[in-house]
Structure 1
Amino acid sequence: MKCPKCQTENRQDSKFCINCGESLTSPAPIDDGIRRPSLASKRYAQGKNPILAAILCLLITGLGQVYNGDYLKALVMFLGAVILFAPTAGIGSFLMLIWSVIDAYQVAKGNQSLWK
């Protein structure tokens, strides 16, 4: 059996490589009935300008999320800003705007994933 890391030939029943110590057996997946999100299932914005995404949010809350392709989050932010405007005398809308700007910048930069 060849080691996937260093390509050293090992005995067929070996559990570790004799050269580099790499495990030659893959761990069995745990099936406990709990569905866990995979890191591979996360989507990220690609080729987006973080400054432009932040500026778009300053124009309209959630517009930077639309630019990043994060449509559900854009809708939540925009509706949240509209709904919170009157009951909070604009403070809730201002907080949604700040969240929108920071989030759009971070997502465009690739530090955070898109909502599904």
Structure 2
Amino acid sequence: MPMVCPHCGKISDEASPRFCSGCGTRMDGKAPAGYPVYGGYSVPVPAREQKSTLIAGACSTLLPGLGQVYNGQTAKGFALFIATCVGLVILLIPGLIVWLYAMYDAHKTAGKMNTGEIPFCEMRMLHVVLFVVFAIAVVVIGLVLIYVMVVEPMMSQFSSLDTGNFNQLLNTGGAF
């Protein structure tokens, strides 16, 4: 006696088929292992998303804290970026140490999320964009402050030098 597929309704040509020739579901209505049943139909379990440890590490290499934002740990990313900036301003070495830690942490955290040791966190593109905009603003403001506080005073010191002898040297063709 031909059977009717409980999923798509196709009538089978075989007497007792295990799977539907039209949609591939089991004809007995049971779900195979790894396939939960929703509304009487078996649905494949979607593959679990994976974080790339390479991308996480590379993001933190380019911009400290960006790897953490990629891993879905936005607050941690902002904290590491600010700590790196403060460390670079106060002394170079502490900033570099925090930056290296950010790279290491982003790589390890992505790996731990993939193995299930820590809960998987979704990356939000809005957080990435906001982080990059914030980082660019901080860098630009820092460069402007360095120019105003260091470069400009140095240039004013050079401009106050007596240039009379230099102008005279140019007018006489190098002869004193």
Q: TM-score, normalised by structure 2?
A: 0.36
Any gaps of 5 or more consecutive residues in structure 2?
A: 1-48, 120-176
Q: Report if the CA contact (8 A) 2:87-2:96 is conserved.
A: no
1:54 aligns with one of 50, 53, 57: 57
The CA distance in 1 between the partners of 2:87 and 2:50, in whole Å, is: 33
For 1:104, the equivalent position in structure 2 comes to: 106
Aligned-residue offset at 1:55: 0.6
2:85 aligned with 1:86: no
Supply the distance in 2 between the matched residues of 1:51 and 1:108 (Cα, whole angstroms). 9
Residue of structure 2 in register with 1:71 after alignment: 74
More helix by percentage = 2
AA matched with 1:105: H
Q: Match of 2:74, as an amino acid?
A: Y
The share of aligned pairs that are identical, in percent, is 25
Residue matched to 1:14: none
Q: Which runs of structure 2 are paired with 1:29-40 in the superposition (5 Å)? A: none
How far residue 113 of structure 1 moved from its aligned partner, in angstroms, is 3.6
Unaligned runs of 5+ in 1: 1-45
Two-structure CA RMSD over aligned residues (Å): 2.0
Normalised to the residue count of structure 1, the TM-score between the two structures is 0.54
Residue 69 of structure 1 aligns to a residue whose secondary structure is coil
Task: Give me the whole-angstrom Cα distance separating, in 1, the residues matched to 2:102 and 2:89.
Answer: 19
Hey, which bits of structure 1, 4+ residues long, moved more than 3 A? 111-114
In 1: Cα distance, 2:77 partner to 2:89 partner: 20
Task: Please identify the structure whose Cα radius of gyration is greater.
Answer: 2
Q: Please state how far the C-alpha of 1:72 moved relative to its aligned partner.
A: 1.2
Asked which structure has the greater RCO (Cα within 8 Å, sep 6+), the reply is 1
